[in-house]
Chain A
Amino acid sequence: MILLDRVSKTYNRALGPSLDRISIHVEPKEFVIVVGQSGAGKTTLLKLLTREERPTSGKIIIGGIDYDKLKDKDIPLLRRKIGVVFQDFKLLPNKTVYENVAFALEIVGVSNKEIKHTVPKVLDIVNLKGKEKRMPQELSGGERQRVAIARAIVRQPRILIADEPTGNLDPKHAWDVIKVLEKINRYGTTVLLTTHNQDIVNKLKRRVVTIENGKIASDRAGGGYKV
Chain B
Amino acid sequence: MRNLSLAVAAMAVMVVTLTIVLFSVITNASFVNTIAQITDKIDISVYLKDDVPAARSTQLVSQLKHLSNVKQVTYLSKDDALKRYERQNADNPQLLAAISSTANPLPATILIKPTDLNEIKDIKSYLSRPEVKQLQSDDPSYSGDRKAAIDKITHATNVLRQIGVVTVAVFSIICALIIFNTIQMAIFNRRDEITIMRLLGASTSYIRGPFVVESLIYGVLSAIISVLIINSAFLASSNALQASSLGLLDINYASTWFGNHFISLLGLQLMVGILIGTVSSTIATRRYLKFKTK
Q: Quick check: A108 and B199 within 8 Å, CB to CB? A: no
Residue B79 interfacial (CB < 8 Å)? no
Q: Quick check: B293 and A108 within 8 Å, CB to CB? A: no
- Taking A51-B293, A72-B291 as contacts, is the C-beta distance between A84 and B193 under 8 angstroms? no
- Least CB distance from A54 to B in Å reads 6
Q: Quick check: B193 and A108 within 8 Å, CB to CB? A: no
- Taking A53-B293, A54-B293, A72-B291 as contacts, is the C-beta distance between A107 and B197 under 8 angstroms? yes
Choice from B192, B204, B294 contacting A76 with Cβ under 8 Å: B204
What residues of chain A lie closer than 8 Å to B195, measured between beta carbons?
A: 90
Q: Quick check: A76 and B293 within 8 Å, CB to CB? A: no
B window 158-216: CB within 8 A of A? 192-193, 195-204, 206
Residue B129 interfacial (CB < 8 Å)? no
- Taking A90-B196, A92-B196 as contacts, is the C-beta distance between A52 and B293 under 8 angstroms? yes
What residues of chain A lie closer than 8 Å to B292, measured between beta carbons?
A: 72
Choice from B199, B203, B204 contacting A90 with Cβ under 8 Å: B199
Alpha-carbon distance A151/B193, docked complex (angstroms): 14
- Taking A92-B193, A92-B196 as contacts, is the C-beta distance between A107 and B291 under 8 angstroms? no
Q: Quick check: A75 and B200 within 8 Å, CB to CB? A: no
Q: Quick check: A79 and B293 within 8 Å, CB to CB? A: no
Q: Quick check: A103 and B293 within 8 Å, CB to CB? A: no
A window 61-78: CB within 8 A of B? 72-73, 75-78
- Taking A90-B199, A107-B201 as contacts, is the C-beta distance between A54 and B294 under 8 angstroms? yes
Q: Quick check: A79 and B201 within 8 Å, CB to CB? A: yes
Choice from A53, A73, A103 contacting B200 with Cβ under 8 Å: A103
A48 closest partner in B (C-beta): B293
What residues of chain A lie closer than 8 Å to B199, measured between beta carbons?
A: 50, 52, 79, 84, 86, 90
What residues of chain A lie closer than 8 Å to B193, measured between beta carbons?
A: 92
What residues of chain B lie closer than 8 Å to A54, measured between beta carbons?
A: 293-294
What residues of chain B lie closer than 8 Å to A76, measured between beta carbons?
A: 198, 201-204
- Taking A90-B196, A92-B193 as contacts, is the C-beta distance between A107 and B293 under 8 angstroms? no
Alpha-carbon distance A108/B291, docked complex (angstroms): 17
Alpha-carbon distance A73/B196, docked complex (angstroms): 17
Alpha-carbon distance A72/B292, docked complex (angstroms): 6
Residue A104 interfacial (CB < 8 Å)? yes
Interface digits, A34-73 against B, CB 8 Å rule (1 contact, 0 not)? 0000000000000000111110000000000000000011
Alpha-carbon distance A78/B291, docked complex (angstroms): 14
What residues of chain B lie closer than 8 Å to A51, measured between beta carbons?
A: 293
A window 90-109: CB within 8 A of B? 90-92, 103-104, 107-108
Q: Quick check: A53 and B204 within 8 Å, CB to CB? A: no
- Taking A90-B195, A92-B196 as contacts, is the C-beta distance between A77 and B201 under 8 angstroms? yes
- Least CB distance from A105 to B in Å reads 10
What residues of chain A lie closer than 8 Å to B294, measured between beta carbons?
A: 53-54
Residue A80 interfacial (CB < 8 Å)? yes
What residues of chain B lie closer than 8 Å to A72, measured between beta carbons?
A: 291-293
- Least CB distance from A137 to B in Å reads 14
Interface digits, A11-52 against B, CB 8 Å rule (1 contact, 0 not)? 000000000000000000000000000000000000000111
| 18 additional contacts (CB under 8 A) given A73-B291, A92-B196 | A53-B294, A54-B293, A54-B294, A72-B291, A72-B292, A72-B293, A73-B204, A75-B291, A76-B201, A76-B203, A78-B201, A80-B200, A80-B201, A90-B192, A90-B199, A103-B200, A108-B203, A151-B200
Q: Which 10 A-B pairs have the closest CB atoms?
A: A79-B201, A107-B202, A80-B201, A76-B201, A76-B203, A90-B196, A104-B200, A72-B292, A54-B293, A107-B206
Pairs across A and B, CB under 8 Å, 26 listed: A50-B199, A52-B199, A52-B293, A53-B293, A53-B294, A72-B291, A72-B292, A73-B291, A75-B201, A75-B291, A75-B293, A76-B198, A76-B201, A76-B202, A76-B203, A77-B201, A78-B201, A86-B199, A90-B195, A92-B193, A103-B200, A107-B202, A107-B206, A108-B201, A108-B202, A108-B203
